[in-house]
A and B are shown apart, each in its own frame.
Chain A
């Protein structure tokens, strides 16, 4: 039993516990215990990872375990982590943990809600630890399907439409992805020998360039749909707007990162030559995402739409940086995933809490909330400042690494695109300050809001944990950037070959 498999096992046990739990108290007990265990486990893995690396272990992946699963197709259950996966695991466990607190008063059908929630976690954690393409794809699907029910049943507004749209678009992406993965599988042994699904082996074998050219776009777009790649991002505003709080958190915070992580781990790592050749197309698309998402966010009036478009912009930056194909920019991309995951989860948590009180998300109908709910107000301002890249919070570190890294590219085209992408920091400031100004400052618009209360203790837990993580990364980024950068070195070597 490897350490990593616990990441899948714990949510499964939580499922079992939930099945037996009776009453809200027991459900909460199961969820909090499980989520805390996951959080603890992710820190144990982090500690283990760092100490192994410090001890001079230079293997590409650590904590590897491998079990044959389906021999005729050479499918394994193979797990292993490098610095990037560790970062993603911490992110996921933090967001699962805070998501539990953010949905403390889930109603109706809390048990069913948390069952799907746990299943989603199984998929997410499984995806990040897998190094076998098939297992990875399976966990990917496991993570996507519960989303349909979570939004369709527990959502608000046009929830059926949003759930259907989200699922169909992501399934469309999965279809491309499946073709891509099969293509990779059947070209995984160019010099004879058995086909393999193991990522490390495929990377060693080097796929033929013709196959790469064909399957790189399929895989990249397949994962890119989840990473909100323009023009396949429109599930994001509707999906986020309709999803319940903790689902929005998990979705924007973690699931969208599956896209970025997959693009990097599968598309670029396995097909570096095609990535070099074709990156310009996707760079243009992601460059558009970055600026376009930010501009769109400027005129939205629904809090969640603003945040969804802002996610399009920020996740666009992730893919943008990955496509720059150098170590600094890619480090920045992973940090941006981490940072965006945390701050967008914080945003969605706060929006959910505000919505739960005011029953509206339209910024025109709210105002002066800072005075009424100072805790939530301050949290919102901090999230906003993180989003617009204030030094000392995680957004700055990530964005600057991306910009500096991208600008080190020798090609003028890439540098010009970087400059275009940097303009987003101004537009981000515009829409963040617009929202903060309208929502929190000024005079109270609706007199009924005067009677509202500030955050409860469980809401405070969620908010404080997320803010602490954002500040921790923002103040002391060196270790995490070194951890990620170190793991990227072999990838970059692969690219240069």
Chain B
């Protein structure tokens, strides 16, 4: 089956970017928005067609085989190492195509209303197209270097979009921070690629993940500090993933990234770009599994810790976008854990499948949550919870869709999050009861803070609004995407996901683990119940008491356990003050000073010897004569 048309999925957003970027200001804002959205609708349709065609292809020996409709050499390094650009269609990349185009389309439509009247509307749509192009290029990469290329491109689109309101200092600072932190992580990624390619002689995913041990033969026996060199390489690549996917301790950029327009947060910082790390780990899963199982354990631990940390912090934040941001970090932690505890063959690969499934469902309900939050912010002109409350009357559609998303993320059946989270928990319990227990606890925390958020926004005490500025429901082009995403969140759980995506390519049939499912639902309901008691009325004094009682802990959590302050310290104190400044000083005063000193001493020397040139002609003659005599003496007697 020929799938060359898949290249259009990439090209159309790129062309839109160029068109809107170069001559966007010639169009009216509305036209630009419609062009962007229209093109993306086409792209989404193409992605669906591709998915349909791909998944309806017959399996080969029970395995879904990858299809490469396009692959050409882009840059040549050596005969073995060359960057190719191409399109690799396999279950996870096709699944990602669907996710990205769907969420992106929703965000494009939503932005027509949300960004209306903003300065730089055309620029906004140009950047959105650039991001969509880059993200799509990332997921269809045929080799790890192509991933790196698009990895950087999504990074820069994220930078541009976070800093969209470039006159706002916070937005500029946040965009800078996001770029530099991820760039730092990408350094790990790059070194990882260099190591991996040096020992395997290839960038290609197909060779790397073929399971063929001969690819790694050159690395046999090469160890560094007790780890095999391949383990080091993939661990470094995981650092890149951790940066992009905001894993502890590289998560600090994501909450700040909420300074960008809310639809951007929905698209980039909730649904697509931040899961790129998860996607890359999944893409390289066979390498991790066969060559570096110890790194997989590390991934699971990092994921679990991040998830717990972010969930705790999310419980006390008051900015609704920050709550959602920490929730995103926490949920990505879930996906990482699932990958970390996964195996390869058959049912062993449950974690892998669950991770991808959760990625899919999370993208939908988290985008929905962010878009809902956007509608609320649009209505009350603030991110702070204290300006909200009682909005369920004024904003019924937003309320309903937000509730669906909250139920989905809390893991209440029959919403999508229940199914994916349940499978993750099942995989965790199979790995170790400890891991299962911790993740269940985090799931409970998730339910708690989501309903805390929900009650604070839609119930509790209505905030006082200035007359004429009462909150109102968002316009139709904003609510329609909400409804669509809510509908997906309701039904997506019933997709037989293991049939499409699995670690070994075989069909994986899952069934609900009764004990795990019941426990998790019960836990979630209890957590929601607590949240209801504490926050529904908005007058319950217990939260304030608790905050007072555990003042230190509350304050630390509110300040995200001072991780940011630590980074601030490291970057400003250490890098700027103790490295850059001394180096600059050294350059000006020591190196340059040495050269100036050289010039100075040359000058001094010439001043010193010019005394010999006294101008007394007789003195010259005298010296001349003496010199002659010395020469005569030398010639005659020596």
Q: Interface residues, chain A, CB within 8 Å of chain B?
A: 165, 168-169, 231, 233-234, 237-238, 292, 295-296, 298-300, 327-328, 368, 370-371, 385, 388-392, 396-397, 400-401, 403-405, 407-408, 415, 418-419, 422-423, 425-426, 429-430, 433-434, 437, 440-443, 477-478, 481-482, 485
Contact = CB atoms under 8 A, between A and B. Distances in A.
A298 B74 contact: no
Given A295-B579, A443-B167, A404 B77 contact: yes
Interface string B591-609: 1101100010000000000
- In order of increasing CB-CB distance, the 8 nearest A-B pairs are A391-B149, A298-B580, A441-B166, A234-B592, A441-B172, A407-B194, A299-B580, A429-B183
B167 A298 contact: no
B438 interface: no
A296 B187 CA distance: 20
B454 interface: no
Contacts of A401: 75, 77
B584 A299 contact: yes
A429 B194 contact: no
Contacts of B152: 389-391, 396
Interface string B169-188: 10011001001100110110
A292 B583 contact: yes
B179 A418 contact: no
A442 B169 contact: yes
Interface string B143-169: 001001110110010010001001101
Contacts of A238: 592
B587 interface: yes
Most interface-central of B74, B77, B145, B179 (chain A CB within 10 A): B77
A391 B75 contact: no
Contacts of A478: 73-76
B171 to A, nearest CB: 8
B190 interface: yes
B5 interface: no
Contacts of A423: 187
B581 interface: yes
13 contacts: A296-B587, A298-B575, A328-B77, A370-B166, A389-B152, A390-B156, A400-B145, A408-B77, A425-B187, A429-B183, A430-B575, A433-B180, A437-B173
B149 A396 contact: yes
B169 A433 contact: no
Contacts of A233: 591
B190 A422 contact: yes
Given A295-B580, A434-B176, A441 B163 contact: yes
A352 B354 CA distance: 56
A437 B591 CA distance: 30
Contacts of B197: 404, 407
B179 A429 contact: yes
B583 A441 contact: no
B76 A392 contact: no
B180 A429 contact: yes
A258 B594 CA distance: 25
Interface string B188-204: 00110011011000000
Interface string B317-339: 00000000000000000000000
B172 A442 contact: yes
B591 A481 contact: no
A406 to B, nearest CB: 9
Contacts of A165: 595, 599
Contacts of B592: 234, 238
Nearest to B172: A441
B78 interface: yes
Most interface-central of A300, A423, A442 (chain B CB within 10 A): A442
Most interface-central of B75, B197, B584 (chain A CB within 10 A): B75
A327 B148 CA distance: 23
Interface in B63-105: 73-78, 81, 83
Most interface-central of A300, A391, A401 (chain B CB within 10 A): A391
A437 B194 contact: no
Contacts of A415: 198
Main secondary structure of the interface of A (DSSP, over half): helix
A299 B581 contact: yes
B74 A477 contact: yes
Nearest to A161: B596
B494 interface: no
Contacts of B290: none
Contacts of B186: 425
B167 A371 contact: yes
A298 B585 CA distance: 12
B576 interface: yes
A478 B72 CA distance: 11
Given A425-B183, A440-B166, A300 B584 contact: yes
Most interface-central of A231, A397, A482 (chain B CB within 10 A): A231
Contacts of B77: 328, 401, 404-405, 408
Contacts of A292: 583, 587
Given A234-B592, A407-B198, 12 more contacts: A165-B599, A168-B599, A233-B591, A234-B591, A295-B579, A296-B584, A299-B584, A328-B77, A392-B153, A400-B75, A422-B190, A482-B76
Interface in B188-246: 190-191, 194-195, 197-198
Nearest to A385: B156
Contacts of A477: 74-75
A328 B78 contact: yes
A8 B78 CA distance: 36
Contact of B190 (A168, A403, A441): A403
A388 B179 CA distance: 11
B374 to A, nearest CB: 23
B119 to A, nearest CB: 9
A422 B187 contact: yes
Contact of A234 (B176, B583, B587): B587
B595 A418 contact: no
A371 B599 CA distance: 46
Contacts of A437: 172-173, 176
B150 A391 contact: yes
B580 A426 contact: no
Nearest to A415: B198
Given A391-B152, A442-B169, A478-B73, A404 B187 contact: no
A443 to B, nearest CB: 6
A138 to B, nearest CB: 26
B194 A404 contact: yes
B74 A408 contact: no
B194 A426 contact: no
A391 B150 CA distance: 8
A397 B180 contact: no
A434 B183 CA distance: 14
A361 B170 CA distance: 24
Nearest to B151: A391
A292 B579 CA distance: 10
A422 B579 contact: no
Given A328-B78, A385-B156, A390-B153, A295 B191 contact: no
Interface in B491-518: none
Contacts of B153: 390-392
Contacts of B187: 422-423, 425-426
B283 to A, nearest CB: 18
B75 A397 contact: yes
